Structure 1
Amino acid sequence: MAQRLVFPDPYAAADLLTFAGRAARTGDGAVHLQATGGMLRTTAAPLVRQGLLDATPTILGMRVLPADPELECDLVVEAVTLQSASDDPCAVVLPDTAVAPTLWSSAPLPRTGWEDLGELPADALRARAAWGMSAVAHALPFDPGEQVVRTVRGRIWSEPDDEVAGMPRGVAFVAVTMGFLGDQPERVPVRGCGRWTRLSFRRGHVLWRGPAHTGMTGVRATGASLG
């Protein structure tokens, strides 16, 4: 029998498959699964550098789900290979083989030591993601090759944006792509730990590994409180 991930309810199993479906359409299509202590941390890289000349920043999307307390795993799989179990709505079937760990999945994410940097309104992130997608579409020539697409995307999503506290505009793209921005107004806490910056939405987290925070401009409010 194929190996499975068992969840306490069908909603968590469906949540993982939704996350994997989004991850399969962006980045390198891989998902990192780490389970311990009754929690499953799922991570993907909707934006990831591919090749020496690629300027695309590596920005991760992460969601934490409740799982079987006895489940322990640490593996990387192709997102498209995760399937629902036909005989158990609370289980997700794993592929027969994992894939080699990627550079982004091998980078250890801090579990402690995060410091508050401020917060951002979700609407600002949504607006910058929309602007960036439009900019990519307008910058691409007719029938561009893969290298041209990567160059344009890398330039636009890697640019620091004052509307997202000087972080790469790609953090907004990842938030939208992974479905972390809901319909309700939200203020998004921003935290830092060393070179890592984390935006914590109600639906998940966006993580960017950039310069150390020494001298970094603090996150500023970009409008009245939205609730």
Structure 2
Amino acid sequence: MAERLIFPDAYAAADLLTFSGRASRAGDGAVHLRAAGGTLLVSAAPLVRQGLLDATPTILGLRVLPIDPELECDLVVEGVTLQGAPGEPSAVQLPDSAVEAPLWAQAPIPRGDWRDVGELDAAALSARGQWGMSAVAHALPIDPGEEVVRMVRGRVWSEPDDDLAGLPRGIAFAALTLGFLAERDEPARLRANGRWTRLTLRRGHVLWRGPAHVGMTEVRATGEAAAR
């Protein structure tokens, strides 16, 4: 593993540290770093499903940053372990070792062929995210166990929200938690590619992979009925 990540300026380095700090306080706390061709893709999962009975949707946050064009890497670290490099404001110190990549970091996110499917209002995202956090807090009993917390969070954040074009409310939580909603009047563009939906704001992207189609296909007539 490289000892440092070198950025073209101190702003990009600080951006990574801000994102990783926010990510470390949500989800599993892991940050996926992929660098190639002068671009660093930084992703995290503020919401992540844990186990077959967990209804929590896995929702990712993604930032794209400029970086040293000679650097190539693909690793997952704990967000809290990324630190500024002493005396080098344009560098970020990596931990001594990476961690095993979680399942969400192994899913291949489409790189192209995204189609526009509409847009959402940043103010609506903020409002629904804050409403969801309040709903989780009010639904939890005193001293809840981990299983109860997971059940309540899964129910609130997985629910399709009419104010969010029927997408799970967790997309608002991810955008709010990762600091993507700085401008309340900003339109958030929605794009789709297969099962993936991407919400794009100036400060980053939120990605959700919807469930595969389940159930029976339409019944097709055969024989004489088909010929009519």
Work out whether 1:203 is the aligned partner of 2:227. Answer: no
Does the 8 Å contact 1:194/1:212 carry over to 2?
no
Q: Which residue of 2 aligns with 1:41?
A: 41
- 2:10 & 2:25 partners in 1: Cα distance? 23
Q: Which residue of 2 aligns with 1:9?
A: 9
The residue matched to 1:157 in structure 2 has which SS?
helix
Which one-letter code corresponds to 1:196 in the other structure? W
Does the 8 Å contact 1:39/1:65 carry over to 2?
yes
User: What is the Cα deviation at residue 6 of structure 1?
Assistant: 0.3
- 1:84-99 map, 5 Å: 84-99=84-99
Where does structure 2 lack aligned partners over 5 or more consecutive residues? 214-228
- 2:71 & 2:6 partners in 1: Cα distance? 8
Q: Which residue of 2 aligns with 1:123?
A: 123
User: What is the Cα deviation at residue 52 of structure 1?
Assistant: 2.2
User: What is the Cα deviation at residue 183 of structure 1?
Assistant: 3.4
Which one-letter code corresponds to 2:146 in the other structure? E
Which one-letter code corresponds to 2:103 in the other structure? L
For residues 72-101 of structure 1, the C-alpha deviation after alignment (integer angstroms, 9 at most, x for no partner) is: 100000111111000211000111110111
Does the 8 Å contact 2:5/2:92 carry over to 1?
yes
For residues 101-157 of structure 1, the C-alpha deviation after alignment (integer angstroms, 9 at most, x for no partner) is: 110000001000100001111111111111111110111011111111111000000
Q: Which residue of 2 aligns with 1:141?
A: 141
Q: Which residue of 2 aligns with 1:22?
A: 22
TM normalised by structure 1 equals 0.91
Q: Which residue of 1 aligns with 2:164?
A: 164
- 1:110 & 1:191 partners in 2: Cα distance? 11
- 1:120 & 1:209 partners in 2: Cα distance? 18
Where does structure 1 lack aligned partners over 5 or more consecutive residues? 214-227
Stretch of structure 1 that moved more, 181-190 or 42-51: 181-190
- 1:128 & 1:201 partners in 2: Cα distance? 16
User: What is the Cα deviation at residue 53 of structure 1?
Assistant: 1.8
Q: Which residue of 2 aligns with 1:53?
A: 53
Return closer, same or farther for 1:77/1:162 CA change in 2, 3 Å cut-off: same
The residue matched to 2:8 in structure 1 has which SS?
coil
TM normalised by structure 2 equals 0.91
The residue matched to 1:206 in structure 2 has which SS?
strand
Q: Which residue of 1 aligns with 2:32?
A: 32
The residue matched to 1:62 in structure 2 has which SS?
strand
User: What is the Cα deviation at residue 2 of structure 1?
Assistant: 6.5
- 1:185-224 map, 5 Å: 185-211=185-211
Question: Once superposed, what is the RMSD of the aligned Cα atoms?
Answer: 1.4
Does the 8 Å contact 2:46/2:177 carry over to 1?
yes
Which one-letter code corresponds to 1:25 in the other structure? R
Does the 8 Å contact 2:122/2:184 carry over to 1?
no
Does the 8 Å contact 1:41/1:64 carry over to 2?
yes
State the percentage of identical aligned residues: 72
Aligned residue pair count: 213
Q: After the TM superposition, which parts of structure 1 deviate over 2 Å for at least 4 consecutive aligned residues?
A: none
- 2:171 & 2:212 partners in 1: Cα distance? 17
Return closer, same or farther for 1:146/1:212 CA change in 2, 3 Å cut-off: closer
